[in-house]
Homo-oligomer: A and B are copies of this chain.
Amino acid sequence: MLGRNSYGKSGIRLVRVDRGGTDHAVSDLTIAVRLEGDFEAAHVAGDNSLVVATDTMKNTAYALAKEFSGREIEDFALELSDHFLRENSHVSLSEVSIEERLWNRLSASSFEGSSNERRTARVRRSRDSVALHCGLKDLLILKTARSAFSGFARDRFTTLPETNDRLLATSLTAEWTHEAAAGPFAGRWEAVRRTLLDTFSAHDSASVQHTIYAMGEAAIGAHRGLAEIRLTMPNRHHLLVDLAPFGLTNENEIFVATEAPYGLIEATVTR
């Protein structure tokens, strides 16, 4: 028996250049489309008559990008997801995810790539509901003060020393929901992001869990329309190097940055 199933196109790379003003503007997007609906005949009988080809999804993204006048990825995800539902009565759910790489201006028509951070928007649209998830992905942040980890549970496998001053680094991913899936979005994303960064910087952290909650709480508190925020903070451990064998004292100064293993802390904060 066929259970839950979906299909779509991922990795659609679309760069749009707006040449309207004196300054050019660049939108650098990676788009994924995913549909659910009445696709049983395709699976069970090899009948493709209701299958929207994933190549068509790709074409649709490029064509609608041309026709679409907006610049915010939230608007474009709302538009694209609506298209697939409207045009295909057998589709029950349409999900469009967009990741935007940000470029920093060098001149009127030249740009420098930003960090690995991506601005994200994801719209899940069914016949009777629409949910917009805004967010950011892979934002590297690090603090060299106000981070402790002590008083944790100890058992026979615990060797980690307590610390009241550690280096805390993470690659933040966050996704939040506004109560209304409606714009204008310009400025709103920057504001939530700013709250998250400010809280990360200022917080007296007792643990990653402590800071992740503080960041979520601050975001919910400072931004009226925010219904919920989900934060993921891998702990990219920086270990103090033991310099004692060389007759040196490491006064919280020399660290080795490690990739694996890593702590992985996730939490949702709601209103």
What are the residues of chain B within 8 A of A1 when measuring CB–CB?
A: 269-271
Say which one of A48-56, A126-134, A181-189 lies at the interface with B: A48-56
Residue A164 lies at the interface, judged by CB distance under 8 Å to chain B: no
**Most chain B CB atoms below 10 A, which of A116, A153, A209:** A209
What are the residues of chain B within 8 A of A87 when measuring CB–CB?
A: 155
Residue A76 lies at the interface, judged by CB distance under 8 Å to chain B: no
A90→B7 CA distance, assembly (Å): 39
User: Please, how many residues of chain A have a CB less than 8 angstroms from a CB on the other chain?
Assistant: 128
Given contacts A56-B155, A113-B116, A151-B48, contact A63 B248 (CB under 8 A): yes
Residue A180 lies at the interface, judged by CB distance under 8 Å to chain B: no
Residue A191 lies at the interface, judged by CB distance under 8 Å to chain B: no
Select A266's contact among B5, B28, B208, B245, beta carbons within 8 Å: B5
What are the residues of chain B within 8 A of A51 when measuring CB–CB?
A: 152-153, 207, 209
Given contacts A9-B261, A109-B146, A256-B14, contact A157 B270 (CB under 8 A): no
A144→B22 CA distance, assembly (Å): 12
A151→B5 CA distance, assembly (Å): 20
A171→B138 CA distance, assembly (Å): 20
The answer to whether A47 touches B151, judged by C-beta atoms less than 8 angstroms apart, is yes
Residue A42 lies at the interface, judged by CB distance under 8 Å to chain B: yes
Binding site for B on A (CB under 8 A): 1-19, 24, 26, 28, 32, 34, 39, 42-44, 46-56, 58-60, 62-63, 65-67, 87-88, 103, 106-117, 139-146, 149-160, 167, 197, 200-202, 205-210, 212-213, 228, 230, 234-235, 238, 241, 243, 245-248, 250-271
